[in-house]
Amino acid sequence: MNTAPRAIHHLNCGTMCPRGARMLAGEGGLLATTRLVCHCLLLEGAEGLVLIDTGFGLDDVRKPQQLGRAFTTAIRPQLDAAETAVSRVRELGFQPGDVRHIVTTHLDLDHAGGLPDFPDAEVHLLGLELQTAMRPGWRERQRYIAAHWAHGPHWVEHDVDGEQWYGFDSVRILPGSDGEILLIPLPGHTLGHTGVAVRQPDGWLLHCGDAYFHHGEVQTPPHCPPGLSAFQALNQVDGAVRRENRERLRELAQRHGDDVELICSHDASYLAAGR
């Protein structure tokens, strides 16, 4: 049966406060800090919990040096144990073991840090992302942190199989469960980057991960603070594909905005909107 999960919780599992508010957020001082979040989702299903992305984990809080000096200096993660996904899960009255499945948009350090806090969960992702993260090239060594999977996660690799969703490739995961969850490949930021679509009672919620960083990018006409555009270009593996996918998301929002709600990982305004 394809239905919506009983509840969808929107969680911030990591705050980052880089300097350069005017360039990154479009307002504030040149050297003022701005606030980015790690927007994760926790779905309550009949068979347990599903976590979508994990933000930073307890090991990152204990050992920030494992994230690398360049990242901690430039992006300034605040690394608070209370914000980790495992603390958020407990705060909601659940146990970490109740999280049966994790779905990751990609394995960048600010999305995969919480994996060690849920060692028994199955971790779903596109096969291409796992292969890239396990054998990173020199450009990718800073973004993928081997400590995040040193515990040996139960990886479940998925690949496109011809299914479509609003014109996008889609891969259904957890068939037979009560919640309908789809991977929507959105490469560009990383090769195996994917969005995650979740049924809501009145349509769909599409978590776009890092396919875009600012809500203005999927509005019409599109706009994005210049520093955030530059940051995305610096961290992309395929710029043309990334921009094409972002444009497809803008068209999706324009045509099907009544059915499909879009969010992305780091724009705090999505979390602030009534949540």
Q: Which two tokens stand for residue 183?
A: 């991977």
- Distance from C-alpha of 178 to C-alpha of 171, rounded to nearest angstrom: 16
Q: Which two tokens stand for residue 187?
A: 């490469």
> Least distance from C-beta 266 to Zn ion, angstroms?
6
- Residue 274 gets which letter from DSSP? T
CB closer to Zn ion, 2 vs 78: 78
CB closer to Zn ion, 68 vs 203: 68
**Under the criterion CB under 5 A, does residue 267 sit at the interface with Zn ion?**
no
Which window, 56-64, 91-99, 102-110, 172-180, contacts Zn ion (CB under 5 A)?
Answer: 102-110
Which window, 24-32, 87-95, 109-117, 250-258, contacts Zn ion (CB under 5 A)?
Answer: 109-117
**Under the criterion CB under 5 A, does residue 117 sit at the interface with Zn ion?**
no
- Distance from C-alpha of 109 to C-alpha of 113, rounded to nearest angstrom: 6
**Binding residues for Zn ion, total number by CB under 5 A:** 2
Select from 86, 104, 69, 251 the least CA-distant residue to 168: 251
CB closer to Zn ion, 75 vs 160: 75
Residue selected from 60, 110, 180, 261 as contacting Zn ion according to rule CB under 5 A: 110
**Under the criterion CB under 5 A, does residue 210 sit at the interface with Zn ion?**
yes
Sheet containing strand 48-52, edge to edge, reads 7-16, 36-45, 48-52, 99-103, 122-126, 154-158
Which window, 60-68, 115-123, 180-188, 205-213, contacts Zn ion (CB under 5 A)?
Answer: 205-213
Which window, 93-101, 203-211, 231-239, 241-249, contacts Zn ion (CB under 5 A)?
Answer: 203-211
Buried b (16+ CB within 10 A) or exposed e, 126-149: bebbbebbeeeeeebebbbbebbb
Per CB under 5 A, residues contacting Zn ion are: 110, 210
